[in-house]
Structures are given as structure tokens and as C-alpha cells.
Amino acid sequence: MVASHHEASHRIFQDRPELLAPVFRILGVPLPAKAAVEVLTADVTEIRPLERRVDSVLRIEPEDGVGGFLLAIEAQGRRDPDKAVSWAYYLSYLKANYACPALLLVICQDDGTARWAAGPFPLGAQGWNALTLHPLVLGPGNVPVITDVEDAARDLPLATFSAMTHGRGRSAPAILKALAEALGSADPESVAYYSELLEIGLGNTPARETWRDLMPRTYFPGRGTLIEETYLEGEAQGRVEERAQLVLRVLDNRGVAVTQEVRERIAACGDLDTLGRWIDLAFAVSDAEGLFEGPEG
């Protein structure tokens, strides 16, 4: 799973490539219909002492094989005067290495950075621009504010991306509320993915705390919604795993030999009461198999 706010901003394109269609409409760039999307290595290093790495690189390949291109995606949190040179290098490297046209998409969460990232960035001696860089930019100024529950449910990737992009703005609470309600009719896998991705993607902002407070309210205790079931299942599974690990830890600390078969049996147990009894027994048994002896074993 993603590990930082920065990574969440671009990783969603790898995990949910269907987001590319609405994003390219926003940018006014034609996207081939029924295009296949392939995640490529983000390493663009040629000489090891200087490591270079793009945040994400996708290959967009049309069904007929004509008009394909590479998309380098960079999440940018602030202005950086050195970035233009790095970005130009990324595009040149990708074009040369894959013999394929390349575009750069920069993702920003504030208007100031987005305006700066749009360039253009002239590269060359004063009075003569040998190369000019024109990135595509997504930011609060062009990413739609999605506050309608039906709109959010129809396009969860775009709604989530909208929430991350506008996470520092006034519209964040309304977007998050709509998305939380939309997740109520989503499948458990989507609920888990978007919930965690958004919590990470919002970074250290008040919106992140709003999201963490908002999600439990969408469980509607006793209503049997998918979010409620997913949440409760996750809570129960976490307690089961903790107790199973505690049984093994007690045995290991006491120097009691534990076979692979016993470890697998303990790990496979999903009953909290049984695991609780095994924890108590783990402090007294002389061999691991003693956990399972008796009528309650």
C-alpha cells in the first residue's frame, strides 16, 4: 500500500488507470479509446552516481497500436527552481529509451504551485531557448469539486482524486462527505482501498482528521452497510491476528519448541475465545501441543 501523501497523489493513476479518461478530458488532451495502460519502471538513471526517478510512468497504448505515448506523472508540493531541468531530462530519457512520445503530468494541491508548474520553462542561453518545457498540470483550478453523492458513486477514482486535490480548500468537507456516502454502496475492496488511500493522500491537513472522523459515521451501526461490515471485519481480524501472535510470542519467549504445524493451526484459528484460552495455557504448557489438549483444545 502507498506510504506517503506524495506517493498517493500519483499512485492512484497506477492502481486505477480509469482515472486517466476524465483527467485527459479536463486537460483537453485526446486519449485513445480502449487504450491499454501499462505501468513502466520509474527509474531513469543512466549513470549510477546520479540517481533519477520519476514518480510514475505509464504507457498508453491504443487498441490499434497507433498513437501510443508515455505519461510521466510527478506530484509537486512546492515551487522548485531545479525541477524544470529534471523534468526535461525525464522526457528526453523516456523518448530515447522507449522510442515513444512522452508527456509530463504534474499534480499540485495548491493554486500557486499549479500556476508555477504550468510553465513554460525555457531552457537555454539568454536570448536563445534551445528547449521549452510545457507540462500538463492538475490542481485546484481545473480538478472538479465533486460534492454530489451520485456523481461520486459513478466515478470513485475521480471523486477520490478531487478530495485529495482540494484537501486544503474550503470545499474539502463537502467533497469528503459525498465520497463517504458514495462508498456506502461500493464493494468491500473499493471501500478499503479508497478509504486508506485518501487518509494517506490528504497528508497532514485538517481534512485528514475530518475524513477519519467521517468514515466511522458512515458505518450506520446495525444497518448492515458494506462499509460497516468492512470496518467490523477488519477490526475483528486485527484482534484475531494480535492474539495469535501473542500465543506464539509467549511460547517463543519461554523457549517452548513450536512446530510449523502448530504455528499454522494457531494462525488459522479465528475464534477470539479459543485464542484467549491458548494465551493463558501458553504460560504453563511444557510443549506446544499442550495447548490443544482437553475438551476445549
Note whether 263 and 269 are within 8 A (CB): no
For residues 89 and 215, the model is more confident at 89
230-280 pLDDT tens trace? 666 666 777 888 888 888 888 888 888 888 988 889 888 888 888 888 888
Residue 208 confidence (pLDDT): 85
C-alpha to C-alpha distance for 272 and 258, rounded to whole angstroms: 21
- For the structural domain made of 5-138, what CATH number should be given? 3.40.1350
- For residue 200, the model assigns a pLDDT of 81
Q: Which of 96-100, 102-106, 122-126 has the lowest mean pLDDT?
A: 122-126
Among 19-28, 80-89, 117-126, 287-296, the minimum mean pLDDT is found in 287-296
- The stretch 90-96 carries a mean pLDDT of 91
Q: What is the pLDDT of residues 138-189, one digit of tens each?
A: 999 999 999 999 999 999 999 999 999 998 889 999 999 999 888 888 887 8
Cβ-proximal residues to 122 (8 Å cutoff; 6+ apart), any chain: 129, 131, 132
Domain-by-domain residue ranges, the chain? 5-138, 149-218, 228-292
pLDDT at 152: 92
pLDDT of residue 232: 64
pTM metric for this prediction? 0.66
Q: Are 200 and 2 in contact (CB under 8 A)?
A: yes
State pLDDT tens for residues 9-67: 888 888 888 888 888 889 888 887 777 877 776 555 454 444 567 788 888 888 777 77
**Residues 277, 297: Cα–Cα separation, whole Å:** 9
Asked whether the predicted pLDDT for residue 295 surpasses 70, the reply is no
Residue 224 has pLDDT above 60, yes or no: no
Predicted local confidence at residue 218, as pLDDT? 54
> Residue 140 has what pLDDT?
93
- Which pLDDT value is given to residue 121? 92
Whole-number average pLDDT of the chain = 82
pLDDT of residue 62: 85
